Amino acid sequence: MNNTIKQTWRWFLTIISSKKQQTSSNVVIVNRQCRKNLLTHGVHDVLVKSILKNELNRQTTSLNLTTSENLVSKAVLKANSNVFINKCAVGYSGNRYYEGCEFVDELEQVAINRAKCLFKCKYANVQPHSGNQMNQAVILALLSSGDTIMGMDLKHGGYFMHGSVVNISGMWLKGISYGIDPKTGLIDMNEVLNVAMKYRPRLIIAGSSSYPRTIDWKAFRQVANTSDSFLSTDISHIAGLIVTGLYPSPIEYCDVVTTTTHRSLRGPHGGLILSNNQELFGRISCTLFSEIQGGPMMSIITAKAVAFFETQQDDYKTWTKSVIENAKAMVERFKIKKIDVVSNGTDNHLVIIDLKVLGIADKQVTFWLNRCHIVLSKNIIPRGILPANIISILKLGTCACTSRGLKKEDFERVADMIADVLLEIKDKGKLSPLLETKTKNQVLDITNKYPIKYNV
């Protein structure tokens, strides 16, 4: 070997040696960081940690009446962050695209079995990342481009995912809608039948985002049979009440049922697809993966499984009873204060206030309430001719504050606070500093009584 070759060889060995040392050093650093994170459960990014602290403080010092939110248990919170975050598990149990999925399969099957037990159905898919994706899977599996889909009018409390033009479902399909009786605030099943017979939709979707009353699933089934339509329903808001028997179940009447796993199920953000029809369920599952989404988020499915376990416990049914009782208590207080409640009551966790009757539909009501640390939802209302960007109803939900520990008398007090704010805005066009300060102090009194015991 001549000198040139020897020098070249030494140079090559030197580079390889340095690369090995660098790689070894990086592995040590990564392993040390993993051990540190696992031991301390800490967030070492100062900026992110400060944001998390601020959000926890916001949640702790405000009353959350947002209809789509809840307060998960520490068990669900912890389960939402687990070692499955490191695992790719594309596919379904027993048919993954990656090796090392034996425990993934086991965990997913636990979640599936618990979901089937809860909802008393034959088939369950726990993989949907969100409510939008679970509904898209159903729509894409059962319909073709240009088909007609029928859901509750968005202005009457429907979901935008059920054929609204602002969603891909309404862009891809011909969306038609049914509504509620403007006098009673109730679904008019005669109108539902008339609309279905006129347009013969391929799919009818029952369910809503802002309907506080009981839905007649059997009547929807009869309409679907008459119009030769598939029937699905989205029970995202009421799923927790259904599994405890406090609200009628649609499982025996619908071809497919979808629900999110947060809201009244008190789990992580995600979706769930349920059915007793094997053929349709298979089509929908094949559409979910791989036409709608890729691999499942197994860390989220872990939290779903834990939430499903919690919903089987006796104290969960006690909680759901309180959710409904607290909503009814708020309704009665609003009536005493002469605040108009849509449909004149509630059968679930929702309380809907008509701002148009008060004449304050354009007064930034949610802004003023948020300044008082009362956080809630907003929407448009069926009886109005106002533009869609004008908030004309308030949507209140009792799930999160009931999870926090508030009792019936606390909800009555909160209803009085909200009513006082609304009535002052009606009289003066805005909230006075005096009432704002008084309301903030009342909110702080309640939040101090029922702290949120999370750690950042």
Which residue numbers belong to the known binding site? 154
260 shares its domain with 131: yes
177, part of any domain: yes
Per-residue pLDDT, 363: 73
225 shares its domain with 145: yes
357, part of any domain: yes
Best CA proximity match to 264, nearest among 86, 363, 443, 398: 398
The whole-angstrom distance between residue 167's C-alpha and the CA centroid of its chain comes to 17
Give the CATH number for residue 436. Answer: 3.90.1150.10
366 shares its domain with 306: no
115, part of any domain: yes
Q: Going by C-beta distance under 8 Å and a sequence separation of 6 or more, which residues neighbour residue 13?
A: none
Going by their DSSP bridges, the two strands 91-92 and 95-96 should be labelled as antiparallel
- What would the two tokens of residue 225 be? 């049979």
Domain boundary among 284, 311, 338: 311
293 shares its domain with 360: no
290 shares its domain with 376: no
191, part of any domain: yes
Per-residue pLDDT, 27: 46
- What would the two tokens of residue 113 be? 């079995």
Domain range for 442: 316-449
260 shares its domain with 365: no
Alpha-carbon distance of 204 to 224, in angstroms, equals 7
Which residue numbers belong to the known binding site for (6S)-5,6,7,8-tetrahydrofolate? 154
133 shares its domain with 154: yes
The phi, psi pair for 318, rounded to 5°, reads -60, -40
261, part of any domain: yes
Per-residue pLDDT, 32: 56
Alpha-carbon distance of 451 to 446, in angstroms, equals 9
Give the CATH number for residue 306. Answer: 3.40.640.10
- What would the two tokens of residue 13 be? 């060995």
31, part of any domain: no
- Tens of pLDDT along the chain (456 residues) come to 456 555 655 665 555 555 445 544 444 444 555 555 544 455 578 999 999 999 999 999 999 999 999 999 999 999 999 999 999 999 999 999 999 999 999 999 999 999 999 999 999 999 999 999 999 999 999 999 999 999 998 777 766 665 666 677 767 888 899 988 988 999 999 999 999 999 999 999 998 888 999 999 999 999 999 999 999 999 999 999 999 999 999 999 999 999 999 999 999 999 999 999 999 999 999 999 999 999 999 999 999 999 999 999 999 999 999 999 999 999 999 999 999 999 999 999 999 998 888 889 877 899 999 999 999 987 654 444 444 455 678 999 999 999 999 999 999 999 999 999 999 999 999 999 999 999 999 999 999 999 999 987
CB of 395 closer than 8 Å to CB of 376: yes
Q: Is 409 exposed, middle or buried (0-12, 13-18, 19+ CB in 10 A)?
A: exposed
296 shares its domain with 430: no
Domain boundary among 294, 311, 328: 311
330 shares its domain with 356: yes
Domain boundary among 311, 340, 369: 311
Per-residue pLDDT, 10: 62
52, part of any domain: no
358, part of any domain: yes
90 shares its domain with 239: yes
Report the domain count for the chain: 2
303 shares its domain with 323: no
326 shares its domain with 185: no
